[in-house]
Amino acid sequence: KHSGRNCVRAYDESEMMREEMDNQLVWKDRLLEALDRDELVLVFQPIVAIAAGRTSHYEVLVRMREKNGKLVPPGKFIPAAEQFGFIQRVDRHVLTKAIRYLAELPAEFSQTAFSINLSGMSVGSQEMYECIEKEVRESGVDPARITFEITETAACEQLTSAMEFIQKIRQLGCRISLDDFGVGFSSFSYLKHLRADILKIDGSFIRDIHNNNADQLFVKALVDVARGMGMRTIAEFVENEQVYDRVRSLGVDYVQGYYLGKPEQELIPASVEGRRPATISVA
């Protein structure tokens, strides 16, 4: 810009890295402040069981509330928390809030379940396990109503500790879902080692599946493998009816995406038939 208009200047790499670093430092401070002031907000996106046609659980997604009331998505600030080593604090904050909220829901939500994201840097941590164990015990919530989503790539980096962690969480009675499955350095052999309950197929294989034969073959194979291993499947990023029809015909068990419902600050059940969500206030 300083060099005037119509002038293209190479944006050198170190400059880009410094800018990125400055950004991360800003997010780090804002996030630490948000944690202290309890300004992290949870939003809930319905996950619909295709066979039952109704919302079976909600994915809990974190947002940061800005001064002007706007909600900042996690893609902005989670990387800073990971980079500066306090992502476990964020994950503990979110899961504590989510489990306590679940415990306080009115009776009509007694079957409602939550699916909570854990960073790969939280997976394998003894402190994280103890936090989960304590919150589940003290809340009195049926642990079967709580699923933890872990990303395959993260889980695969430290396989032994991830395996132990997953086993302990499942012994507690909670469920494990492998998030964003199929991207990164994935391999079917990990499915042998990581005993998960649910396989969440990455949205990149789903969003255009109605137009893409390779995606269809891939999802079909994953559904077969998952079923053979006693796991359920979720398709994320279901954005329209064509995608919904396709994943259903391929035997996927659950769907999540804007076609069913966006993340909201209230629990808004979605259904497949008619897809007309009934708003229920949980205030």
List residues near Mg ion by CB under 5 A: 117, 149, 179-180, 203, 236
Query: Least separation, in Å, of the C-beta of 98 and ligand C2E?
Result: 8
Q: Which is nearer to ligand C2E, 55 or 256 (CB)?
A: 256
Query: Least separation, in Å, of the C-beta of 239 and ligand C2E?
Result: 4
Q: Which is nearer to ligand C2E, 117 or 139 (CB)?
A: 117
Query: Least separation, in Å, of the C-beta of 30 and ligand C2E?
Result: 16
CA distance 148 to 116: 5
Q: Are strands 254-255 and 198-201 parallel, antiparallel or unpaired?
A: unpaired
**Could you give the C-alpha distances from 110 to 2, 145, 186, in angstroms and in order?**
60, 9, 36
23-62 residues in contact with ligand C2E (CB under 6 A) are: 45, 61-62
Asked if 124 interacts with ligand C2E (CB under 6 A), we say no
Asked if 263 interacts with ligand C2E (CB under 6 A), we say yes
Q: Which is nearer to ligand C2E, 93 or 227 (CB)?
A: 93
Q: Which is nearer to ligand C2E, 147 or 256 (CB)?
A: 256
Q: Are strands 113-118 and 40-49 parallel, antiparallel or unpaired?
A: unpaired
Q: Taking the CB of residue 16, how many other CB atoms lie within 10 A of it? A: 10
Asked if 162 interacts with ligand C2E (CB under 6 A), we say no
End-to-end CA distance of the chain: 50
Window of 15-23, 88-96, 164-172, 210-218 that interacts with ligand C2E by CB under 6 A: 88-96
Query: Least separation, in Å, of the C-beta of 15 and ligand C2E?
Result: 27
CA distance 166 to 10: 47
Helices 13-36 and 87-104 sit at what angle, rounded to 10 degrees? 40
Asked if 135 interacts with ligand C2E (CB under 6 A), we say no
Query: Least separation, in Å, of the C-beta of 43 and ligand C2E?
Result: 7
CA distance 91 to 109: 24
Nearest C-alpha neighbor of 246 from the set 197, 202, 198, 213: 213
> 248 Cβ partners below 8 Å, 6+ apart?
50, 255
Binding residues (CB under 6 A) for ligand C2E: these are 45, 61-62, 73-75, 78, 90-91, 94, 117-119, 149, 179-180, 236-237, 239, 256-258, 263
